[in-house]
Structure 1
Amino acid sequence: MSRPSPLSPLHRFNEQHPWSHNDHYGPWVEGRVTEAGAREVLDVGCGTGNLVALLRAGGGVGAVTGLEPDPATARAAAERFAGDAAVTIVHGDFAGRDRRRRWDAITLVAVLHHLPLAPTLRDLRTSLTPGGRLVIVGCYREAGPADHIATLPAALANPVIGLLKHPSRAAAPPRHMTAPTTAPRETLREIRTAAARELPGARVRRRLFWRYSLVYDAPSVCDAPSLYDASS
């Protein structure tokens, strides 16, 4: 069972009771960043800043930079954090980042499928400080019976959670759920394969609500030379 068709009554019900699958994983992402001891964090595709707010509220993160390619959304995020000197919102995408900087942690939530998979994973790896952590919650293309079976719990739980979180009917989705979207190109198998090649040791798990998670810890200063010597 896959995601409901846009023409189905279930899809219309879900639209009337919207809730963010991405925000659902925000506390989990914040926890993975905090436990890594990250002080400077880059949030790629930060939207209106919901994850940025969680990272700052947790208290463990010193500074967060949010990259957001949509100008109106970036402006809204910048206004939201205007009073927080530890937050910087940049109107731009990952390709246009400051390539001289390295980050203790980098986060992407429902962003990676908008970007070329393997080159982006490679660039993310080299954008981490030694011992830094990459945390991704992403979307994948369903392919085959195993994926369809795995989505059954999500399809059943989605309207129930929507009704609990948003019991009254919504005339329109909330602002943070209006960003342009695109369908994922890669299957979960393809994502696992690319991660194994570009991010040795990355941990990829299938998650509920049509998502997967990826956590990668870069080698520390002591371990880093051995990783790259073999390819030099």
Structure 2
Amino acid sequence: MALLAHLERFNQRHPWSHNDFYGRWVAGQVAASGARHVLDIGCGTGNLVELLRHRATSVTGLEPDPATARVAADRFSDTDTVVIERAAFAEHARQRRWDAITLVAVLHHLPLAETLRELRGCLTPGGRLVIVGCYREASPGDHLTAALAALANPIMGLVKHPARARALPVHMTAPTAVARETLAEIRAVAATELPGARIRRRLFWRYSLVYDAPAHPGPA
């Protein structure tokens, strides 16, 4: 326990974003799909939006927290290819379809099956859904990966934030939630709601999901 407490204090002095770590990978997945119009759900202060806007024609970011949405809106106030909306996914109009949708550390805040079903319906034919999410550790593989992440985390902190921090960066202060579903449960739900989705366990307490909507959807 003393070692864990020491690691926690060290990590707070050298903070870095596990979500931003996967930003370039997410943006690459979107670019590889040829998406033109992208929706980033739970965009925070806009770090992923910044990467996406150089790979797409337009990017819309949804952020429910007023203060965070204001930061993101100010950040992109000088470009007409980015729109930041202060809204949660449940409040967003469903009539528009997107070539790609991204969620990073957002899905575990939402009802899993219902949200995946709605996300599938928000994609254009051939559109791509890219998720980096959090899961509840349950299996031996989960615990092994978590142990490796705990060892690698302070090293990454030193590399990415060598100076001691007095406070967390603004983009790391968004509200958090504990993941409810295990990776096995997420796989099972995705198999029903997103047939063919590709799911991988990732380092730093994350998993990835990539789903490509059928290019020629069948009848409803």
* TM-score for both structures, normalised by structure 1: 0.92
Q: CA separation in 2, counterparts of 1:5 and 1:19?
A: 22
Q: CA separation in 2, counterparts of 1:5 and 1:96?
A: 44
- Does the 8 Å CA contact 1:5/1:11 hold for their aligned counterparts? no
| 1:21 maps onto 2:54 in alignment | no
Q: CA separation in 2, counterparts of 1:182 and 1:159?
A: 22
Task: Please list the CA deviations of residues 102-139 of structure 1 after superposition, one character each: whole Å capped at 9, or x if unmatched.
Answer: 00000000000000000000000000000000000000
Q: CA separation in 2, counterparts of 1:5 and 1:56?
A: 44
Hey, what does 2:93 align to over in structure 1? 98
Hey, what does 2:180 align to over in structure 1? 185
- Does the 8 Å CA contact 1:78/1:89 hold for their aligned counterparts? yes
Q: CA deviation at 1:56?
A: 1.4
Specify the SS of the correspondent of 2:113: helix
Q: CA separation in 1, counterparts of 2:157 and 2:14?
A: 5
Q: CA deviation at 1:86?
A: 0.6
The one-letter code of the counterpart of 2:10 is: F
Q: CA separation in 2, counterparts of 1:20 and 1:147?
A: 20
Hey, what does 1:41 align to over in structure 2? 38
Q: Which runs of 5+ in 1 are unaligned?
A: none
Decide which of 42, 47, 51 is 2:48's aligned counterpart.
51
Q: CA separation in 2, counterparts of 1:16 and 1:174?
A: 11
Task: Please list the CA deviations of residues 50-96 of structure 1 after superposition, one character each: whole Å capped at 9, or x if unmatched.
Answer: 00000113xx3000000000000001100000001010000000001
Instruction: Give the count of matched residue pairs.
Output: 220
Decide which of 113, 118, 126 is 2:113's aligned counterpart.
118
Q: CA deviation at 1:6?
A: 11
Residues 12 and 93 of structure 1, relative CA distance in 2, 3 Å threshold: same
Hey, what does 1:216 align to over in structure 2? 211
Hey, what does 1:130 align to over in structure 2? 125
Q: Alignment RMSD, CA only?
A: 1.5
The one-letter code of the counterpart of 2:212 is: D
- Does the 8 Å CA contact 1:132/1:218 hold for their aligned counterparts? yes
Q: Which runs of 5+ in 2 are unaligned?
A: none
The one-letter code of the counterpart of 1:84 is: T
Decide which of 164, 171, 177 is 1:169's aligned counterpart.
164
Q: CA separation in 1, counterparts of 2:3 and 2:200?
A: 27
Q: CA deviation at 1:164?
A: 1.2
Alignment of 1:146-165 (within 5 A): 146-165=141-160
Q: CA deviation at 1:5?
A: 9.2
Specify the SS of the correspondent of 2:53: helix
Decide which of 100, 103, 106 is 1:108's aligned counterpart.
103
The percentage of aligned residue pairs carrying the same residue is 68
